Chain A
Amino acid sequence: MAISISGLRKRFGQTDVLRGLELEITKGELVALLGPSGSGKTTLLKIIAGLEWPDTGRLEVDGENWLELAAQDRRIGFVFQHYALFPHMSVRDNLAFGLTVRPRAQRPGKAVIAAKVQELLHFLQITHLADRFPGQLSGGQRQRVALGRALAIEPKLLLLDEPFGALDAAIRRDLRRWLRGVHEATGSTTIFVTHDQEEAFELADRVVVMGEGRIEQIGHADTIHDHPASPFVARFMGATVELPVTLQAGRPEAAGLDLQALARRALPDGPATLFVRPEDIRPVPDSAAPWRIESRMSNGAHLRLVLRHATGAEAEADIPRRAVQAEALAPGASVRLRVEAGAIFPAERQGTAATTVSQPILKLESSK
């Protein structure tokens, strides 16, 4: 199913939930909608499912206008974060539900449905759970049943809302790999919503990053990681340290910062903000530099240093605990900061994310 979305807008009361979305998804693709809560990703998914309706905009699937089609007739599989299994039905009956509610003329015979359910149980590796009730299953098992129930109607499109959000980390990793397998086996176009970057990047062919009702960036894991399209994406991707710099002939400069590792980019001269991940900052002892180490904490593998500039600005750096220079980096020491990688956005552009989407981005080149 090829999906084409344009000009999609939605308001809930005073809040703009979707502020004009454009998105194309090709047949057989596995796409992640990634964003913090309140970014509109679940609303978008529910609009595609027919559980919500946009105020304006178009939603076409294989050329057909889906906004004229009720959810019942879209033939999608929808998987809820909290499973939404029918608690009074056995696993078997849950799986069969979608087939048994078909209009009499299209409904398969009892034996056909039973065979289909058996096949699904086998495919999902939950044959032993067939006669249990949802209340007797673990979270991971329930999620498998929920997915199986959605797959039973042979959906043309599979939609998953935070499918692993309520599960613990180990089961989540298992199910992620398993879902990838299911996607490859069924070949159906799949869209899932998540706020977990790792999950989005590991599982999806393409990731759509959303923030405050807009699509901030669409791309593959590496591109989004290394070349965030906006300050929003940079922050969301973990570049939590924001350093004011001055651009001169495409080079960022600031007192106490060593920015040699950053490539030159075509940006206008003037004030700008450098977005850096704590692990891309290397403090180097330098008695003349304006940064001081305020505190240092260990989490075992890494040391987290909190750094304070003479002007009061704060930054954080993560360094391997066993690194050679770690010993010299005690609280109170003066340091200059070597930045290995970062993204720069002109200062005045900050906050108006949509206009910066197509702006060139300075980035990277790790020297080590």
Chain B
Amino acid sequence: MTIANPIHLPGQSRMGARVLIGVAIVLSILFIAAPLVFIFVRAFARGWEVYLANILHPMTLHAIWLTTITALIVVPLNVGFGIAAAWAVAKHRFPGRGLLVTMIEIPYSISPIIAGICYLLLYGRQGLLGPWLQANDLQVMFALPGIVLVTMFVTAPFVAREVLPLMQAQGTEQEQAAVTLGANGWQIFRRVTLPNIRWALLYGAVLCTARAVGEFGGVSVVSGNIRGQTNTLPLHVELLFNDLNAVGAFAAASTLTLIAILALFLKAALEGRR
């Protein structure tokens, strides 16, 4: 939010502009900055030692570890998916192309809870694939695979939507030039296509990470909230809060907040280069 370059308007509306800017600042502080500060104030309410003890509590550490593992699996997979989908749509013509573009955007418009329930109905004990999964001793729901699947679904569009417009704008001439110069498919991808989208790709990956780490709704349906086993960080915050352990909840929340702020700074830094 920058308020550089004030527009010079005739006297009366300049007053109006000041009022609008003032309202925007007050609202931003009230709704965005204050809650952020409040998280840290509450987290440190009983001092450093208690904060550290809360963070280092085995259950919290496990939640941090689970969330990290989920992100480490989901983000690379979605980066791969995003590149492949954007590449297919931007550089090729095939039947069903329009449908694929729509499919990529579905997770944006579906509530994560609905996604979670769909996965439950499909992979759960009573679900469509449930008997088969049980017969083969595969635990998807209430375990890491379920958490990963739902998180992947929710964050699927982030990389593809960042990369696709760029690829479409660049067209295929550079790739054609590389072909005529004798490059094979992999060389073209690695040396021409990929460098052209690298900033958009990184930007998409940052957004994807932030979303994957913070995902709550969908994961809450499929994880089962088993402490020390399937409790991700956002779920852990809720559990602590329900236990009336406010300091613990805010301490856990502060780690999530730090990740979010870091992602925002990365995003801002990348935006210029994209």
Q: A interface vs B, CB < 8 Å?
A: 49-51, 71-78, 80, 82, 84-88, 97-98, 101-102, 149-150, 152-153
Contacts and interface: CB of A to CB of B under 8 A. Distances in A.
A300 B109 CA distance: 64
Interface string B164-186: 00000000011011111111100
Contact of A78 (B177, B184, B191, B196): B177
Contacts of A98: 181-182
Contacts of B173: 80, 82, 84
Q: Is the interface of A mostly helix, strand, loop or mixed?
A: loop
A114 to B, nearest CB: 17
A82 B180 CA distance: 15
Contacts of A51: 176, 179-180
A71 B180 contact: yes
B184 A72 contact: yes
A75 B179 CA distance: 10
Contact of A88 (B176, B178, B184, B195): B195
Interface in B182-226: 182-184, 187, 191-192, 195-196
B184 A84 contact: no
Q: Is the interface of B mostly helix, strand, loop or mixed?
A: helix
A88 B191 CA distance: 9
A77 B184 CA distance: 16
Contacts of B176: 51, 78, 80, 84
Contacts of B191: 86, 97, 101
Contacts of A76: 180
A88 B177 contact: no
A49 B180 contact: yes
Given A87-B196, A88-B196, A101-B191, A72 B174 contact: no
Contacts of A75: 182
Nearest to B198: A88
A59 to B, nearest CB: 15
**Contact-size category for B:** 10 to 19
Given A87-B196, A88-B196, A101 B187 contact: yes
A153 B196 contact: no
Contact of A150 (B180, B184, B192): B180
A72 B182 contact: yes
Top-10 shortest CB links A-B: A98-B181, A84-B173, A78-B180, A101-B183, A84-B177, A88-B195, A71-B179, A101-B187, A72-B182, A84-B174
Nearest to B173: A84
Q: Which of A50, A72, A82 has the most CB of B within 10 A?
A: A72
Interface in B133-185: 173-174, 176-184
Contacts of A74: 180
Nearest to A101: B183
Nearest to A106: B182
Contact of A86 (B174, B179, B180, B184): B174
Contact of A101 (B174, B178, B196): B178
Contacts of A86: 174, 177-178, 191-192, 195
A77 B42 CA distance: 67
Contact of B182 (A80, A85, A87, A102): A102
Nearest to A72: B182
Contacts of B187: 101
